[in-house]
Chain A
């Protein structure tokens, strides 16, 4: 056993990110980690690699049978653990060999760079692990898959014995995925152990020796990959039963308020991020948008609101008219957004609660551009009461509130514009169960009042419980549509998000 982690528990304030997790890794093994967003995979990786130092977690980590107490990433690297991240750290202007030696450059007299030595060293590592890359090639000439490979070779050059691959194929094209998997399999044959984190179950099943499933911060099970299939893994990932948490006031959906036709959107660098998206959203209905991280959910909401991306095709119609392309216009036309990034897009943390509540609807509490403090206070107090914002007073800074109360302020700001279409991006992320239930009730009352709600959530039971219909996104397009007639089950939704197996009918 090259690595053994026993009973790891990691808390962030009152949130338990890892709960008594045990995990082990054998030499020359590929051990996959699976779980939904927020299941605890990233936290486990950070504990194992020293990002969360010894002392910040409870439990024990052993390398080769001896306890390891990493204080930093550097300590873990010295013990032979290397993390290959989704975001790559390389320098385009240097050659492959120079990138491989980056941070440990061979030198003469500790001063002059020794390029020949760097080239020899890189060539030797590449040969030892049977990797076909030209060490003299400039980094900029490589594709993203090959750059990923350089990152791995860099770790191997430092005598890493344990590679942690965090979503290594997320940015790769099909043929690049295949060659990366082949190399990972080759490394296993040469005694390197891998922890492999991926959402793509197909890959995981094809390459892993064992699979551990995390859910809500706990290890659910460890399976031998040979004996597992997708359905089993997904069942373990989802696990929870859906309970009667979700209020539901019966109402027949009304006219279409928001119509999206064949939408395609590129980001600032011109990369296509959304394509072929069509759906309509009706008054008195909650349409859920699901999908894995990076599937384009936030991008879709931000684009509909006019705050992100360049449209390359398609149409968005809001209450029968072309939707405005900017947030101010969207708000005037009756569409409001609650962003998933509360600290960046949601709140002015240093300003007062009242300042935040008023900000999107100053026109209603001013005359000729002059604010009416009395009217503002009355209206904010009423809004705070209706939302159940718990605070000493509306003049204290919004940043001092708990996460749940902060979220209610963001919701309050949006609702004070009296929107007819409400876009909610992860409205319950990181907040406690009490505030969560209040937000569920609020969403239900919006529906009852005839608003149209577009709801993004990574929490599948929540998405199913609150939504009348669900659209699952996958890689920037629609991976499946579900409504009461097709039965919205976590397993089927997850399958549509991952893009595997029969039972889904992407349109």
Chain B
């Protein structure tokens, strides 16, 4: 009976909130200053980029696809933003548009190749992971571009507010993503294609376009996240986003989106993002080393997938 209760969607949300509350309590009690301004600020700073990309990743994983190249594409889009703003003296607006367009292009290439040529998106995006990282180094000649104040406004709290424009944009995007998934024909198609592509096709749904669009949308959001990421540092580092895909996948999977497609919720991915961001910031606060953080991230992914499997069996 308990299992039955746990399989209800509302109880999933409750479990995620409990995990989040538990983490905050654990780090709050266990470390000095975790609940202080600096630490919370670091969490808040980390959230926007993670949330933007996790929103797109949720929509893609609902269709049964995955994108391992988001970290590299984030690096590439950031690098191009840096080059455009520093070397070409572009304004933030045009540079941001270029970054989003470049991300969408990379996503479309991933999507088109994996969907039309029937290759696993896992492998295609693994290739893109290398390609985009290489291009990021080529674009910047392996140098970090210091952009400075022109981009930092995005990431600093609005006067009189606690949060930054980037934070608001990310929350708004996640909200729109959830509505797209649950309240539109397109969202229905994403779920139908991911849960049973054969039945979707017989039901009259063209099964390729939703998958390709999901890849492209994730790419565009990654391009947006790249600029947000630059604003956090005030610079464009071609190394930005190394390992970022794992944080994103961890957040989405913790949120209960199935790796097998057909089931997912942007709202729960938001909680997943909060959990992953809290965990990473908390570990820093505890004085954990970078290698140890990676060990923990890996364990969290495996644990979340296990939980997903158990839930299916229940």
Contact = CB atoms under 8 A, between A and B. Distances in A.
Interface of A: 305, 307, 326-328, 330-332, 337, 339, 344-351, 355, 358-360, 362-363, 366, 369-371, 373, 413, 417
Nearest to B201: A327
Contacts of A348: 191-192, 195-196, 199-200, 262
A346 B201 CA distance: 10
Contacts of B186: 369
A296 B204 CA distance: 22
A189 B191 CA distance: 61
A305 B192 CA distance: 19
How many chain B residues sit at the interface, stated as a range, is 20 to 34
Contacts of A305: 202
A348 B201 CA distance: 11
Interface of B: 183-186, 188-189, 191-192, 195-196, 198-206, 262-263
Contact of A369 (B184, B196, B202): B184
Contacts of A355: 188, 191-192
A349 B260 CA distance: 14
Contacts of A347: 196, 199
Contact of B183 (A307, A351, A360, A370): A370
Contacts of B204: 327-328, 330-332, 360, 417
A184 to B, nearest CB: 39
B200 A359 contact: yes
B132 to A, nearest CB: 31
A126 to B, nearest CB: 42
A332 B204 CA distance: 9
A465 to B, nearest CB: 27
Nearest to B195: A348
Nearest to A307: B202
Nearest to A359: B203
A307 B192 CA distance: 17
Contact of A370 (B184, B191, B200, B263): B184
Given A307-B201, A345-B198, A370-B183, A328 B206 contact: yes
User: Taking chain B's interface residues, is the majority helix, strand, or loop, or is none over half, making it mixed?
Assistant: helix
Given A359-B200, A360-B203, A351 B185 contact: no
B158 to A, nearest CB: 31
Nearest to A371: B183
Contacts of B262: 348, 350-351
Nearest to B263: A350
Given A307-B202, A413-B203, 5 more contacts: A327-B202, A327-B204, A347-B199, A362-B189, A370-B184
Given A348-B196, A350-B262, A350-B263, A366 B202 contact: no
Contact of A349 (B183, B185, B196, B203): B196
7 contacts: A327-B201, A344-B196, A348-B200, A348-B262, A355-B192, A359-B203, A371-B188
B199 A345 contact: yes
A326 B188 CA distance: 20
B188 A344 contact: no
A339 to B, nearest CB: 6
Q: Which 7 A-B pairs have the closest CB atoms?
A: A331-B204, A328-B204, A359-B203, A345-B202, A360-B203, A362-B185, A348-B195
A358 B200 CA distance: 12
Contact of A350 (B184, B188, B195, B201): B195
Nearest to B312: A350
B188 A359 contact: yes
A394 to B, nearest CB: 15
A330 B188 CA distance: 20
B47 to A, nearest CB: 28
A339 B196 CA distance: 14
Most B CB within 10 A of own CB, among A348, A360, A363: A348
A363 B186 CA distance: 11
Contacts of A371: 183-185, 188
Contact of B195 (A332, A351, A360, A362): A351
A307 B197 CA distance: 13
A327 B192 CA distance: 15
A160 B280 CA distance: 64
A366 B184 contact: yes
A331 B183 CA distance: 23
A358 B203 CA distance: 10
B202 A362 contact: no
Contacts of B192: 348, 351, 355, 359
Contacts of A373: 183
B240 to A, nearest CB: 35
Contacts of A346: 199, 202
A339 B183 CA distance: 28
Nearest to B182: A371
A346 B199 CA distance: 5
Contacts of A359: 188, 192, 200, 203, 205
B217 to A, nearest CB: 14
Contacts of B196: 344, 347-349
Contacts of B199: 344-348
Given A362-B185, A366-B184, A327 B198 contact: no
- Considering residues A326, A330, A339, A350, which has the most beta carbons from chain B within 10 angstroms of its beta carbon? A350
Most buried by A among B189, B191, B195, B203: B203
B64 to A, nearest CB: 13
A339 B202 contact: yes
Nearest to A331: B204
Contact of B185 (A307, A345, A363): A363
A288 to B, nearest CB: 22
Contact of A351 (B191, B198, B202, B205): B191
A130 B209 CA distance: 59
A307 B202 CA distance: 7
Contacts of A370: 183-185
A130 B253 CA distance: 62
A350 B106 CA distance: 32
Contacts of A351: 191-192, 195, 262
A326 B186 CA distance: 19
Given A363-B185, A371-B188, A337 B202 contact: yes
B89 to A, nearest CB: 40
A405 B188 CA distance: 23
A355 B189 CA distance: 11
B40 to A, nearest CB: 37
Contacts of B188: 355, 358-359, 362, 371
